[in-house]
Amino acid sequence: MSLSPAAEDALSDEALAAHLFPSGGEMGARIRALDWSATQLGAIRTWPQSLRSAVNIMLGSRFPMMVHWGPELIHFYNDGYATIMQSKHPGALGQPAEPWWREMWPFLLSIFEPVLAGQTTFFENKLVLPNRRGFVEEAYFTFSHSPIYDEAGTVGGIFVTTLETTTAVLQQRRLALLQHLTAQTALSALPAEVAQHIIAALATNAADIPFALLYTHEPNAPQAQLRAWFGLPAGEPAAPATLPTAPAGPPPGAGRWPRQFNRARRCW
């Protein structure tokens, strides 16, 4: 329930925050507890009704949501989005977006600019490269960005609704590879052709398998022969033409290949 200006003035900052944002789980509590007067937005009592309403809608949703507000695109987000933020949570709350997403800022800016001009955007299973755990990772999201209009009728902020789909995208991609691999290896019974078909199938998924070397071994032969490969030039130290099958030591530059190869042989 909205309060008159006089009623708001009679409340402390803490009491006003509790009245305006009474729920919202962890993030509701953090928004109520934060000293907003020390941020670029200023105290909650100075916020326009459009921002207050947007934050309430966000906190009331069980779907991951974020609000960016003002020229600096100050962060607000709910409990669902806190999980997506990973190590950026809770430090990003109340802070400008750019310093917290510097690793992918040009990409984000290309999305924000049309929204700030009044457009709504939608992406499905979009690849993004965030740094949420101390390293840049491959991640996929289905998300929508919508403009939030302020009291002057101009765009004051952005609503972000997001679903991370990384697990589903990777599972689908790897299942497709297995299906393709099965279909390819069924094309021929000749070992040399099977090797080529296997490598051809693996090469279709360089995102998961940047290189592959396929060796064959004849009974009692002292070495396994490289039959098919992709991603590495044959003959280089990392892609030796042969591998010893006895534990006599690795070929120059091959590292631990023989040990790994013999361990794999015991599983055949």
Task: Please report, for the chain, the start and end positions of each structural domain, with discontinuous segments joined by +.
Answer: 5-164, 175-265
How confident is the model over 131-151, as pLDDT tens digits? 999 999 999 999 999 999 999
| Mean confidence (pLDDT) of the chain | 91
The rounded distance, in Å, linking the Cα atoms of 228 and 249 is 23
pLDDT of residue 23: 94
pLDDT band at 164 (very low <50, low <70, confident <90, very high): very high
With pLDDT > 90 as the criterion, what percentage of the chain qualifies? 77
Q: What is the dihedral of CA 23, 84, 164, 202, to 10 degrees?
A: -170
pLDDT of residue 112: 98
pLDDT of residue 18: 95
How confident is the model over 37-84, as pLDDT tens digits? 999 999 999 999 999 999 999 999 999 999 999 999 999 999 999 999
pLDDT of residue 261: 44
Other residues' Cβ atoms within 10 Å of the Cβ of residue 34: 16
pLDDT band at 265 (very low <50, low <70, confident <90, very high): very low
Rounded to an integer, the average pLDDT of 144-162 is: 98
CB 105 within 8 Å of CB 131:
no
DSSP string, 223-261: EEEEEEEESS-TTSTTS-SEEESSSS-PPTT-TTHHHHH
Phi, psi at residue 262, to the nearest 5°?
-65, -35
pLDDT of residue 14: 94
Helices (H), the chain: 5-9, 13-20, 25-33, 49-60, 79-85, 97-100, 105-116, 166-185, 191-202, 257-265
**Does pLDDT of 268 surpass 60?**
no
pLDDT of residue 256: 52
The answer as to CATH 3.30.450.20 being correct for domain 5-164 is: yes
Rounded to an integer, the average pLDDT of 191-198 is: 88
The rounded distance, in Å, linking the Cα atoms of 8 and 22 is 15
46-50 long-range Cβ contacts below 8 angstroms, 24+ apart: 48/150, 48/151, 48/156, 49/2, 49/151, 50/148, 50/149, 50/150, 50/151, 50/156, 50/157
Element spanning 216, H or E: strand 212-216
pLDDT of residue 92: 98
